[in-house]
Chain A
Amino acid sequence: MNASQIIFYLISAFVLGTAVLAVTTRKIFRSAIWLLFSLVGVAGLYFWMQVEFVAAVQIIVYVGGVVVLIIFSIFLTHHSGSELPKTPLKQTIFSMLAVLLGFAFSYNLIAKHGFPTTSDKPFVVPVSAIGEQMLDTKQHGFVLPFEVVSMLLLAAMIGCIVIAMRSMPKGKTIQKQASPINGNGKTQDLPVPTKTMEEETT
């Protein structure tokens, strides 16, 4: 076993260990943090395999995006500080069965086909090649999926705007909110306190 293999097993153990902790801990915020460590471990695995672009995207998307969103939603929920109730035995048994089934399935696949060992050196993919492939219209080009995904994202963005927009009562225009940053870079309309000092003291 050489150093490279040791590092691989260490990272894998880290990923699996934190993943197990993420599902077994009974504090929801800790669960999110263990998930974060697991995802960072996967990124580390990508770095170990010298596919830096994928590793960076893994960190940006999962750590910077998904986990932050998860943490935000935890922050915004009630009673998220208290411990979760113990999982009932039935649920535990069924989830264990599901995990075993999944494991058996993947193990079966790996046992059947195996990982062919290659003597090839780690492949180097410049980022510009990825970009060109992404917008290529010829064979093995990805322009169609790329555009389809962009359409999907556009639809999601429009949906967000529609949800966020205040519904306008008929015949009334929405009172124009003065932009908070006016020419001086200072507040234009500080909320005027409705109560004066005297009213408060009396």
Chain B
Amino acid sequence: MFSLENITDSSQKWLYATFNSTIALVLQCVIVMLLVISLFAVLGLVLVLMERKVAARMQIRLGPNRVGPKGMLQTAADTLKLMMKEGLTPDGADKFLFNLAPFVVMIAGMLIMAPIAFAKGFQIWDINIGVLYVSAVSSVSVIGILMAGWASNNKYSLLGAMRSGAQIVSYELSAGFSIVSIVVLAGSLQMSDIIASQQTGWWLFRGHIPAIIAFVIFIIAVTAETNRAPFDLAEAESELTAGFHTEYSGMKFALFFLAEYINIFIVCAIGATLFLGGWMPLHVGHWKGFNHVMDYIPSSLWFLGKTFFLIFLIMWFRWTFPRLRVDQLLSLEWKYLLPISMFNLLLITLIAIMGWHF
């Protein structure tokens, strides 16, 4: 059976047998880095195309259909165009910070990749504080956005950055609460433990209604945290031209654009891991035959399927809902999501203590 675990194991064995341990470690780091970068590139191409196709279908359009078969190469052509464009730095900008900001956002995205389990035994770093690490590092990307907004020396950028900062700082709370509620159920922060705890069923189904509420709040909060519509006030085209990346062009803009999609992938991967069992196949109670068939599907496909389902859900939001105003955005968080998620956390704790979950 196809398994990524065998590949990683055998390559590690070969590396340690051929070189001494320091060089092998360095080589491993290089391989992981190359893999992450190529994953980023592929994800950028695929997700942008997927977004445009999904948007077109929802708006009764065809979407990109000229470059390549059914427009499949459209994003590749766009990337080529962006690479050939001039990366302009405005005169009045703080040049060092202006050029640094896209990389800060990108590096934050790369760091969060570390604890995500892509398949059974295929994980970069199974750190013991897993989800805490994720929520810690994801707060770095807001610094990149604030940096970009300030260094551009542009009113729109500054306003967009401030909106984005206020938004991310406030929605981090309810996203954190929903993550904590699953941590309470699973009893561990480590990604592999959380996935292992869902062997008999995904937390979304096992945790009764509170788990579903936590899932809904998580999805809303991460949509806001990734600055996507209906929460895209930070780059509201009609008000702020493009928000914090108004002054960026060429490859520097592409990095911001890519980081947006990478962040979507990451939050959806975290959501799939916490609520939908990561790479765990779907098992239903005592249906032995059904469970056996499900086990035959490779774990990496399970993970990618769940993640892309959540990504589709977030795209669905984007192409359905109108943008919120700033005051609506903040009152949604502080008056609705936060109290509900706090109350919900109490309920989940009660369920976990009494052992009421399935």
Contact with A along B167-188 (1 / 0, CB 8 A): 0010010000000000000011
When A30-B97, A180-B328, A187-B325 are in contact, do A52 and B143 touch as well, CB less than 8 Å? no
When A29-B97, A68-B169 are in contact, do A52 and B331 touch as well, CB less than 8 Å? no
Which residues in window 315-352 of B have CB below 8 A to A? Answer: 321-322, 325, 327-328, 331-332, 335-336
How far in angstroms is the closest Cβ of chain A from B355? Answer: 18
How far in angstroms is the closest Cβ of chain A from B339? Answer: 13
Task: Identify B140's interface contact among A52, A59, A124, A180, CB under 8 A.
Answer: A59
Which residues in window 42-60 of B have CB below 8 A to A? Answer: none
Contact with A along B147-164 (1 / 0, CB 8 A): 100110100001001100
Across the interface, do A72 and B97 meet the contact criterion of CB distance under 8 Å? no
How far in angstroms is the closest Cβ of chain B from A165? Answer: 14
Residues in B with CB closer than 8 Å to A187 are: 325, 328
| Complex Cα gap A181–B325 (Å) | 10
Across the interface, do B128 and A63 meet the contact criterion of CB distance under 8 Å? no
Residues in B with CB closer than 8 Å to A33 are: 97, 143, 147
Decide yes or no whether B314 CB sits under 8 A from chain A: no
Across the interface, do A67 and B331 meet the contact criterion of CB distance under 8 Å? no
Residues in B with CB closer than 8 Å to A185 are: 321
Decide yes or no whether A168 CB sits under 8 A from chain B: no
How far in angstroms is the closest Cβ of chain B from A27? Answer: 7
Task: Identify B129's interface contact among A40, A53, A63, CB under 8 A.
Answer: A53
Across the interface, do A56 and B129 meet the contact criterion of CB distance under 8 Å? yes
Please indicate which of the listed interface residues A55, A68, A187 has the most CB atoms of chain B within 10 Å of its own CB.
Answer: A68
| Complex Cα gap A59–B111 (Å) | 13
| Complex Cα gap A124–B127 (Å) | 12
When A72-B162, A72-B165, A75-B150 are in contact, do A64 and B129 touch as well, CB less than 8 Å? no
How far in angstroms is the closest Cβ of chain B from A31? Answer: 11
| Complex Cα gap A55–B128 (Å) | 12
Across the interface, do A60 and B97 meet the contact criterion of CB distance under 8 Å? no
How far in angstroms is the closest Cβ of chain B from A69? Answer: 9
| Complex Cα gap A27–B97 (Å) | 11
Across the interface, do A59 and B129 meet the contact criterion of CB distance under 8 Å? no
| Complex Cα gap A76–B128 (Å) | 39
How far in angstroms is the closest Cβ of chain B from A164? Answer: 11
Across the interface, do B139 and A60 meet the contact criterion of CB distance under 8 Å? yes
Across the interface, do A181 and B165 meet the contact criterion of CB distance under 8 Å? no
How far in angstroms is the closest Cβ of chain A from B224? Answer: 14
Decide yes or no whether A145 CB sits under 8 A from chain B: no
Please indicate which of the listed interface residues B146, B169, B188, B328 has the most CB atoms of chain A within 10 Å of its own CB.
Answer: B146
Across the interface, do A56 and B136 meet the contact criterion of CB distance under 8 Å? yes
| Complex Cα gap A192–B243 (Å) | 26
Across the interface, do A127 and B129 meet the contact criterion of CB distance under 8 Å? yes
When A3-B22, A180-B327 are in contact, do A71 and B146 touch as well, CB less than 8 Å? yes
Across the interface, do A68 and B146 meet the contact criterion of CB distance under 8 Å? yes
Contact with B along A40-75 (1 / 0, CB 8 A): 100000000000110111011001100110011011
When A30-B97, A52-B133, A59-B137 are in contact, do A68 and B165 touch as well, CB less than 8 Å? yes
Across the interface, do A68 and B325 meet the contact criterion of CB distance under 8 Å? no
Decide yes or no whether B142 CB sits under 8 A from chain A: yes
Across the interface, do B129 and A60 meet the contact criterion of CB distance under 8 Å? no
Across the interface, do B336 and A181 meet the contact criterion of CB distance under 8 Å? yes
Contact with A along B296-318 (1 / 0, CB 8 A): 00000000000000000000000
Decide yes or no whether B135 CB sits under 8 A from chain A: yes
Residues of B within 8 A of A (CB): 22, 94, 96-97, 127-129, 132-133, 135-137, 139-140, 142-143, 146-147, 150-151, 153, 158, 161-162, 165, 169, 172, 187-189, 321-322, 325, 327-328, 331-332, 335-336
A33-B97, A56-B129, A59-B137 given; name 7 further pairs at CB < 8 Å.
Answer: A53-B132, A56-B133, A63-B140, A64-B169, A68-B169, A71-B143, A126-B128
- 4 nearest CB pairs, A to B: A64-B139, A59-B136, A56-B136, A180-B328
Some 12 contacts from A to B, beta carbons below 8 A apart, are A29-B94, A29-B97, A36-B143, A52-B133, A57-B136, A59-B136, A64-B139, A68-B139, A68-B142, A75-B162, A127-B189, A185-B321
